[in-house]
Amino acid sequence: MKPSFSKVYEALNWASSFLEDHKREKFAAEILLKYHLNMSRSQLYSSLREEWQDEEAKDAFVKDVYTHALEGVPVQYLVGYEEFYGRKFIVNEEVLIPRPETEELIEGVLRRKKEHFPKDAKLDVVDVGTGSGIIAITLALEDPALNVTATDISSESLKVAKMNAEKLGASIRFIEGDLLTPFIEQGEKFDIIVSNPPYIPEAEIATLSVIVKDHEPLRALVGGEDGLALYRRFMEQLPLVVKDHALIAFEIGTGQGEAVSEMLRTTFHEKGIQVEVAYDINGKDRMVFGAF
């Protein structure tokens, strides 16, 4: 039965309650309402007592609330974007939805870049497994001195990343390929290599929420039996694409910090690599940085 509401706050209250009743996060109601009213958060909350008279928009809002609650389709896919590092990025079923932890990875790269390289140095950066392009695009926009390349094995993911780069005005070179293989073949090397690869162990996929496991691309989530398969492949390829002085940055899954650190130390022991595990805002090991 279609819910009955005439004011904005009534729509918000209904959606929040309906979502909670179906074990979904009620914040999704606000995201969907902002989208269908075409309002910012401040505009929404200043308009709560206003009448909502657009029946077509109401129907679309109700449909999306049902879809998220009953089918688990992520609200970001329903509205077509996610906010990341203060910008709106297009997302769809071909790319992973950006997580706030990845903002911390970018902050870590920008900070360590200043520590390990001369000021104003023009540096070559590659973002491996770019997905929606959030890492590559954010780095390019935050630091114009970076010459950024983004690569992904999926042509469909690259389409989304290219749309985001164009929309946000970022100059990025996009390459389709498997990890670092295209650059090994071309003899190309980089100062900074950053990646947020799939790192969830296969057995854990079944424990994830329906919103994630049934809708986000598994190729961007599953990292082999123990979650470390992609990092092992990186260790085979990284020595072939790093310059004499380089910064390597990975996002990792909780509990993987020591394993990935040891991989880097073993791979680059002759270069005297400095390896650091960094923790996210929730106190979980979330990033590994290596520099030499």
Q: Which residues are annotated as a binding site?
A: 129-133, 152, 196-199
Rg from Cα positions in the chain: 21
**How wide is the angle at C-alpha 45 spanned by C-alphas 71 and 9, nearest 5°?**
60
Name the binding residues for substrate: 196-199
Nearest of 143, 132, 126 to residue 238 by alpha carbon: 126
d(CA 170, CA 138): 8
Name the binding residues for S-adenosyl-L-methionine: 129-133, 152, 196
